[in-house]
Amino acid sequence: MDTFTGLKVKELAWFENPRERTLKNGKPRVHRARWLPEREVDLVYLYSDYYIDAREPASAQTDFFTVTRMDAWGVSTWFMCTPEAAEKLIAMDYDNLAVKETTIVG
């Protein structure tokens, strides 16, 4: 947190994944879920309390911000960061963190 502005970090306590043994429809899972990691990992929840409206964007005054858009289908939300923050995250080389560049249109 000392490296970035506007970043909130919270460690999650995870005891058992209910999807590990059960499908979305409630039936028992026959095979191990492909998306489960091979080994245990620490879970960290990253979030920002700086919100930007995608329809009326303002320049971000922080490294991390949340972009929201309300449309006919509901609310869409993206957790985003500045290009400089993305470079720092990539340099930190976390195992289970994907940083992708995207443009929100509309």
pLDDT 10s digits, 72-103: 778 888 888 888 888 888 888 877 778 888 87
Q: Is the pLDDT of residue 38 over 70?
A: yes
Q: What is the pLDDT of residue 1?
A: 63
Q: What is the pLDDT of residue 25?
A: 86
Q: Is the pLDDT of residue 42 over 60?
A: yes
Q: What is the pLDDT of residue 30?
A: 84
* DSSP string across the chain: --SSSS-EEEEPP----GGGTB-TTSPBPSS--TTS-SS----EEEE-S-EEETTS----SSSEEEEEEEETTEEEEEEEE-HHHHHHHHHHT-TT----------
pLDDT winner (highest mean) among 5-9, 69-73, 80-84: 80-84
| Domain boundary assignment for the chain | 8-92
What's the pLDDT band for 43 if we cut at 50, 70, 90? low
